[in-house]
Amino acid sequence: MDKVLERSVLCSGGCLHLGGSKSETARALVLQALLPSLELENASTSDDSVAMVKGLACKGQEVDIGYAGTAMRFLTAYFACRQGREVLLTGSGRMKERPIDVLVSALRSLGADISYVEREGFPPLYIKGVAVRGGEVRMEGGVSSQYASALLLIAPFLPEGLKLTLEGRVTSRPYLEMTVSLLQEVFGKRIASWKGNCIEVFPQEGELRGKGALRIESDWSSASYWYSFVALNDVGTELCLKYFKGDSYQGDRALVELYELLGVHTVFEGDGIRLRRVSAPRLEVLDLDLNATPDIAQTVAVTCLGLGIGCELWGLHTLKIKETDRLLALQTEMRKMGAKVEVSDDSLCLEAGAKLKSGVRIATYDDHRMAMAFTPLMLKVRLIIENSGVVSKSYPDFWEDVTKNVRLAE
């Protein structure tokens, strides 16, 4: 279903609860499956999280996770160490185009029994669960961080633990830091260490025990769209977001400093944050390396477009293997809006001063972040968001929250 968005204004003073972090929830669900005594609070209800829950609970031989890329990576490692279990792990057509050879090779080196069913290096996978013992693995640091996180999540349950060495520059480092921090919160600080490019999860003696409950923080990636709404609204606009913390595990907390450059100030208060539009952007061109936080790249690019400033965004090579090729998708849809924008394999450059076109149909390419990133432009022009229901992949209540907090412009 398409969503027609008329020219609107963000209501000042609202307060939103965005739901638990999709990234934290995915990791916590794997830990809970391996440690059933662990209880989760404020878990995400996104499509990706539901796919993970169903995949973990599936008793049949075929496990279909649809478009959920995180579930594909994490469940590959999970089922590899479930001794005696055999599964066919598959997904959507797009999922079968997303490489997984780096993770499979690493698991095989630890003793896993995994076969490619169709194309070498890509899902679907036939996995025979065996007694994976653990050991040492070397992995290129510039590939998806989810490969490394998948290994780390099962590592506490491997007799020999895991010594993971990341070679070269590490992509999306905050997501790996999140994984290590969650392991330490659940099992104690001594479970793991990170020195240089080496992450070690130590072998455990006896029965592995962890904490009883884990509260999941709200999702900073979802918060990015509300930062964009505030940035594109009038000076003085305020919005409260619940259940966020200053010492977050989530790398997208970088929004706090980043959007300060775009005129949005963040105050941590109680159990949440308050956003306030305090000024016009403090620069004409935003130059950022988003290697550590690629999930907010679409939001940042579209915010700059709405503000009429330019941007040069770098470190975006992983965007080409997401739900769609996000760099090409951004270029296509931003050009529809009147932007002069160019992309390479790992960057996006937007010229300042674009005059926005009204009534444009924004294609979403089965990508939740494309739909939500462009929505704040409704504060500037009329838009049509195609296949608007795709937002349920990460933020099921997005359109309900927009309806409650945005009113038509007079």
Which pLDDT band holds residue 205 (cuts at 50, 70, 90)?
A: confident
Q: What is the mean pLDDT of the chain?
A: 94
Considering the entire predicted model, what is its pTM?
A: 0.85
CB 153, CB 30: distance < 8 Å:
yes
Angle between helices 220-231 and 297-307 (to 10 degrees): 0
Angstrom distances, CA of residue 304 to CA of 21, 281, 285, 322, 354: 25, 9, 9, 22, 10
- Of 295, 346, 367, 397, catalytic: 295
pLDDT tens digits along 108-142: 999 999 999 999 999 999 999 999 999 999 999 88
- The one-character DSSP state at 216 is P
pLDDT tens digits along 364-384: 999 999 999 999 999 999 999
Say what the pLDDT of residue 409 is.
84
What does the alpha-carbon distance between residue 67 and residue 51 come to, in Å, rounded to a whole number? 9
Among this protein's residues, is 397 annotated catalytic? no
Taking the CB of residue 42, how many other CB atoms lie within 10 A of it?
Answer: 18
Give the lowest-confidence range in 164-173, 234-243, 266-275, 364-373.
164-173
Taking the CB of residue 306, how many other CB atoms lie within 10 A of it?
Answer: 23
What does the alpha-carbon distance between residue 79 and residue 116 come to, in Å, rounded to a whole number? 15
pLDDT tens digits along 271-286: 999 999 999 998 999 9
What does the alpha-carbon distance between residue 352 and residue 283 come to, in Å, rounded to a whole number? 11
What does the alpha-carbon distance between residue 19 and residue 330 come to, in Å, rounded to a whole number? 26
Nearest to 301 by CA among 311, 291, 289: 311
Matching residue, tokens 């290096």: 121
Say what the pLDDT of residue 16 is.
96
Give the lowest-confidence range in 103-112, 204-213, 221-230.
204-213
Residues 6 or more apart in contact with residue 132 via CB below 8 angstroms:
80, 81, 107, 110, 111, 112, 154, 158
Give the lowest-confidence range in 84-88, 198-202, 323-327.
323-327
* Angle (nearest 5°) at CA 341 between 220 and 299: 10
What does the alpha-carbon distance between residue 129 and residue 112 come to, in Å, rounded to a whole number? 7
pLDDT at 68 over 80: yes
Which pLDDT band holds residue 182 (cuts at 50, 70, 90)?
A: very high
CB 295, CB 254: distance < 8 Å:
no
